[in-house]
A and B are shown apart, each in its own frame.
Chain A
Amino acid sequence: MSSQVTEHAHWHTSPYPILVGFGAGFLLPWAFMFYFVYGQGLLAVIALGLGLLMLLVGGVGWVGETVGIIDDEGWSPAAMLMFIGTEVMTLFAILVGYWVMRLQAPQWPPEGTPEISAPNMATLLLLFSSLSIGLARRKQMQGDAAGFANLTLISIAIWALFALMTIFGWGQLAGQGFAIGVNAYATALYGLTGIHFAHIVFGLLIMLLALAPAYRGRLSASYARSMTMYVHFVNVLGIWVLLQAYYW
């Protein structure tokens, strides 16, 4: 082999990963530190805004470049499965923290815990989002881009509602004087629901990114499938959190 080798081949490039990388990897951490460590609200907002902007522009560009144009050969679901595996490990670690606190406590729930109602309705909503995203996936398999987009939008709406209910619930708890530092149960409750909330936000981002190409008629089997897997996973997680934090 020699120089005729790769004449026609060229270097593939994309400006989007680097945007996402520094936006999420550098600016968002600084936003957190400006706010919580240095008490610099303005700088925090700037870093957060810039970071999110880079993340969004990067994300939109990324899916715009790939969805429906180039596709891996169906490897994404395997990758998503592995990713979910690591997520399970993350949650496992945090759950261990919860169990340790709980089993060590002389009484549970510890003193200072008000009457707390479990978010049954909100969790029920999650089941509906599993249904709608499942239907979306079916549409995608039928090649119905618009149907896929609509059903994804419905799932987004359900999740957004769930997110709002979560925030509202936190507000209510705080109103009852049950803030984060009150006792071990507060740590556990806010910790577990907070982690789930973070997953909801991330999932919303993933679903939102699928919309633009879909409304333009572009579909990606592997993206849709991985997205569906992720949504189901977060829903199962929600139920798990409900059982662990409220009913055990």
Chain B
Amino acid sequence: MSIQARTGSMALMLLSLPLIPRPAQAVQVVPVPGQSRQWDVPPHVHFDELLHEVFWDITIIGVLMAVVAAYFLFAYRRRFPDEVGRLQKLSPQAALGWMIIPVALFMADDIYLFAKGWELHKQYREVPENAYEIRVTGAMWSWTYTYPNEVETYGELKVPAETPILLRMSSEDVVHSHFIQQYRVTEDLMPGRVTYMWFMPDKVGEYVVTCREYCGAGHSSMYGKVIVMAREEFNAWLESEAAAISASATVASAQQVVSPAADVSARDFGR
């Protein structure tokens, strides 16, 4: 095959770059320790603030348009049968102005929103160094959670409070989506790829997990719980589970449980 044909094919391949899983995953890998920033508030709190702000933004835009429209609709009712509209043709300068000025305003707002959104996006996607990792497997129609010491739970995600939790997820059959309303976070699971999400369980309690990608007849019954426990309680539970699994397997040990120093990035992130 000639050089030209080869370069041609390569150029076309480049176009499809976003679709290629390999580079895709390279970009997705969780940042190495030290790169992620410290955030004052957990993402879900930040989310509510931003959502609030965005709602204000679009409400102002919407109300402005609605009020102007309503006023025109009222003020310019037809007064006599032969009346015609009196809108004049714009001069070229005016036409241009009526394009450039609105576009500049819209653009300004867009950039503002984008910047705000990006900040939160980074918070969602950059996993804190000390995150505690749990593997999630979705299958029609249940969730399996696997802890570092190979303890497994079904439909109940037990996590220690005040520890960032990293979920590394994959699916056995079809696409599912792991959604925790309390933490405002969703990410799909699918066969052949590994995805991740993280959240910060700041308060002890029980919250709902649901599946958010259509996966068949059991989609709406594919729900479970996140149970946030105090750390000691969590450790005790995990150890007793591990002990219960088998006396012979001496996998469980306290260091493997929650220790902020756990080197998350050293684990196999890609696969």
Contact = CB atoms under 8 A, between A and B. Distances in A.
Q: Do chains A and B touch in the complex (CB under 8 A)?
A: yes
A192 to B, nearest CB: 13
Interface residues of A, number: 10
B12 A99 contact: yes
Interface of A: 95-96, 99-100, 103-104, 243-244, 247-248
A247 B1 contact: yes
A248 B20 contact: no
B22 interface: yes
A104 B5 contact: no
B5 A96 contact: no
Contacts of B21: 100, 104
A100 B9 CA distance: 13
B22 A248 contact: no
A96 B20 CA distance: 9
A103 B22 CA distance: 8
A248 B1 contact: yes
A95 B9 CA distance: 11
B16 A99 contact: yes
Query: 8 tightest CB-CB pairs across the interface, nearest first?
Result: A247-B1, A96-B16, A99-B16, A103-B20, A100-B19, A104-B21, A99-B13, A248-B9
A109 to B, nearest CB: 15
Given A99-B13, A243-B5, A248-B6, 15 more contacts: A95-B12, A96-B16, A99-B12, A99-B19, A100-B16, A100-B19, A103-B13, A103-B20, A104-B21, A243-B9, A247-B1, A247-B5, A248-B1, A248-B5, A248-B9
A59 B16 CA distance: 39
Nearest to B19: A100
Contacts, number: 28
B78 to A, nearest CB: 27
Nearest to B23: A103
A18 B247 CA distance: 75
Contacts of B13: 99, 103
Given A95-B12, A248-B9, A100 B1 contact: no
18 contacts: A95-B12, A96-B16, A99-B12, A99-B16, A99-B19, A99-B20, A100-B16, A100-B19, A100-B21, A103-B13, A103-B20, A104-B20, A104-B22, A244-B9, A248-B1, A248-B5, A248-B6, A248-B9
Contacts of A244: 9
A243 B1 CA distance: 8
Contacts of A100: 16, 19-21
B224 to A, nearest CB: 32
Interface in B1-56: 1, 5-6, 9, 12-13, 16, 19-22
Contacts of B6: 248
Interface string B218-248: 0000000000000000000000000000000
A151 B184 CA distance: 68
Contacts of B16: 96, 99-100
A247 B6 CA distance: 9
A99 B17 CA distance: 9
Contacts of A99: 12-13, 16, 19-20
A132 B95 CA distance: 55
Contacts of B5: 243, 247-248
A202 B178 CA distance: 46
B270 to A, nearest CB: 13
Nearest to B192: A104
A248 B20 CA distance: 18
Contacts of B12: 95, 99
A188 to B, nearest CB: 13
A192 B6 CA distance: 18
A99 B23 CA distance: 13
Contacts of A104: 20-22
A50 B9 CA distance: 42
A247 B4 CA distance: 13
B145 to A, nearest CB: 28
Nearest to A96: B16
Of the listed residues A99, A104, A247, the one surrounded by the most CB atoms of chain B closer than 10 A to its CB is A99
A103 B13 CA distance: 9
A95 B13 CA distance: 9
B14 to A, nearest CB: 10
Contacts of A95: 12
A137 to B, nearest CB: 28
A244 B12 CA distance: 11
A101 to B, nearest CB: 10
Interface in B48-80: none
